[in-house]
Amino acid sequence: MTPPHEPSAPTQPTTPLTHANTAAREALHSRRAFLFKLSLYLNGVVGAVLAVPLVGYVLGPAFKKTSSYNSWVSLGPISDFPEGQTRLADFRNPVTTVSDGETGKVACWVRRIEGEKFQVFAINCAHLGCPVRWFEQSRLFLCPCHGGAYYEDGSRASGPPERGLFEYQYKIVGSQLMIEAGAMPTLANEACAKKPRPLVNIESQQPAAPTQQANDAERSSAWPA
């Protein structure tokens, strides 16, 4: 039954070990142990080289600046937004991929105060990012998750949020209302800030050219409605 190549117990060495033999084996062992260590170092170095692209690939999104995602997108003609009203608008995020599907869409609240004075609020509650809803009659934004409430100018009214709604930069080009968007609005750079500023993580990298933008950047309190 047992084929010749069946595993079997190792055979005893037939020749007795001499001193010279032992010394030679010791030297050989020491050499092999050294080579083994060398192979470990070699793999360590190769591993380190390999780690650069692997870690870089995984951490890639973390190193990209938020502002690099941003660009100006149109919310449509300003005539879509009657004065004195707050309306839901949506746009396709300027940065999307083929697999995003409908998650590439973003909603926001547009408040047209008067004329070319607007406020564009992120849909995300400043507490934990749930979608806030506008209630025209009580002039409040309410969050369904933990009950955060904001006044019509986006300032905090009550509940767990520690600041007002995030506000996009906007400009009017021709008759189009444009906002600067691209990344999900969160407290990101705000967590340590003493004074809440309008949507810091969607801030513009280039100096605010139109005077309107300068106004926006300063605006942390309510417009005189």
**Amino acid symbol at 155:** S
- Determine if 61 is a binding residue for another protein (CB under 8 A): yes
Choice from 72, 76, 87, 104 touching another protein (CB under 8 A): 104
Nearest distance, CB of residue 97 and another protein, angstroms: 5
- Total of residues contacting another protein (CB under 8 A): 65
Told to check if 105 binds another protein by CB under 8 A, we report yes
Residue whose pair of structure tokens reads 């189009």 in the numeric block? 176
Considering the rule CB under 8 A, would residue 175 count as an interface residue with another protein?
Answer: no
Q: Whose Cβ is closer to another protein: residue 104's or residue 212's?
A: 104
Q: Which stretch binds another protein (CB under 8 A): 19-27, 32-40, 77-85, 147-155?
A: 147-155
Please identify, using beta-carbon distances, which residue of 66 and 212 lies nearer to another protein: 66
Cα–Cα dist 3/7, whole Å: 9
Pick from 76, 80, 117, 142 the residue near another protein by CB under 8 A.
Answer: 142
Beta bridge mates, 119: 111
Enter the tokens of residue 146. 């933990």
Closest approach of another protein to the CB of residue 173, in Å:
23
Pick one of 101, 115, 174, 207: the residue that binds another protein (CB under 8 A).
Answer: 101
Check residue 127 for interaction with another protein (CB under 8 A).
yes
What is the smallest separation between the CB atom of 114 and another protein, expressed in angstroms? 16
Query: What Å distances lie between residue 100 and 118, 165, 183, CA to CA?
Result: 30, 26, 14
Q: How far is the CB of 118 from another protein (least distance, A)?
A: 19
**Minimum gap (Å) between residue 211 Cβ and another protein:** 28
Q: Which residues bind another protein (CB under 8 A)?
A: 6-7, 59, 61-64, 66, 69, 88, 90, 93, 95-107, 123-124, 127-133, 135, 137-140, 142, 144-147, 149, 151-152, 157-162, 182-184, 186-192, 201, 225
